[in-house]
Structure 1
Amino acid sequence: MALASVLFLLLLAGAARAVEIVGGREARPHARPFMASLQLSRTPGSHFCGGTLIHPSFVLTAAQCLQDIPAHLVTLVLGAHDLQSSEPEQQRFTISQVFSNNYDPEDNLNDVLLLQLDHPASLGGGGATGTRCLAMGWGRLGTRAPTPRVLQELNVTVVTFLCRPHNVCTLVPRRSAGTCFGDSGGPLICDGVLQGVDSFVIRASATRQFPDFFARVSLYTDWINSVLRTARARAPAGATWP
């Protein structure tokens, strides 16, 4: 028997609605920002189904989840770890439109559903507070110091104090270190993902009183994609495009 057929039979055996993970372990907090929680709007924390963010405006879930619950009674939460806590990483949405695919509840066929969010999610989230990131550049080695000859890099930590919503901010705990003049435009890499573009410092470099400010890349994904689409459309015929 083909492997796909075996898996299909295993999935059908006792095809009860999946409500929990058996024998699992706690995930690293906020390490899965694409994970969605479907909740009853009038009862915060009343999780009843999961989902996956597959696009800034769409979550993929199971059709059974909304079979008996009208979409207008559902709140969708992204970025959560503890559903009973009001976490700053959480993003909340209502559902603007539902796209089904001929769900057959009797045979558990086509149990997929696309939910369009009322506004786009903020992808990446700029790194959760405490995330270790890497900044780099050829900027000055101090406010009054010269620029280096070779590329420099620095481990930094994401912080929220004094930060603004459209920035990602970083510090180096217990050290006078950070980005400096000449580092502007350089990257902030968190867990292998570009989260920020070096923007500015306050007063001076590495003051230990103020964080370094990076432009939050996730806020500009639509613009970036639009520019890429325009560039691709204008590319000469036959030109290669990734």
Structure 2
Amino acid sequence: MEKSDSVVIIPTYNEKENIENIIRAVIGLPEHGFHILVIDDGSPDGTADIVKRLMANEFKHELHLVQRTGKLGLGTAYIAGFKWALEHGYEYIFEMDADFSHAPKDLPRLYNACAKDGYDVSVGSRYVSGVNVVNWPMGRVLMSYYASKYVRTVTGVPLHDTTAGFVCYRRKVLETIDLDAIRFKGYAFQIEMKFTAYKLGFKIKEVPVVFVNRELGTSKMSGGIFSEALFGVMRLRWAAMTGGIKAKK
């Protein structure tokens, strides 16, 4: 499959247990042909070497890799991926984790929400139809759920899952947002991107998904990440009130 209108960006750091399986699962989807861009932040476990082997031997056109030196943050990984995807002509650009917490089979549903139903952004939502999280400790479920409630209350963004990391953007959204002005590097990045898209008038659809906690590898979540998300939304609200949310010139 040489050409596709869609690319799935997967940031990685030490994901050798998952990366080959997630690549095969995404590329092997029968419903739609997705390309993959892996953004690897210098994984010492050889994650990038696995990707290179697959690129050389099996997925010469479907699989791509950008290697960075050191852990530079989730947000900067996605910004780098967004810019790469725009440069390479993709119309639908996805965010997705490497650890199967986001089910590859849900990718066509996010795609259809934008490509067929006319939305500009589609979000794989854990909370739009109840609480659809599997194998998380209850404390973490409550923290995530109420963090999204808090963000919705403070910012006014009409989404149930503002911190979701399973997202599809139409090309025009990423062309309109000033990607160099995005402030946050951790999970607050997810909030900032949705908030900015909403404030710029783009239509956002929440697609219900089931989030399953990783079985292999180590979680990158930390208390500091949640602190950035919780306190960062006040800065976003202030930026919106003072005219700081503007389209790219």
Which bin holds the TM-score, normalised by the shorter protein? under 0.3
- Give the structure with the larger strand fraction: 1
Q: State the TM-score, normalized to the length of structure 1.
A: 0.23
- Give the structure with the larger helix fraction: 2
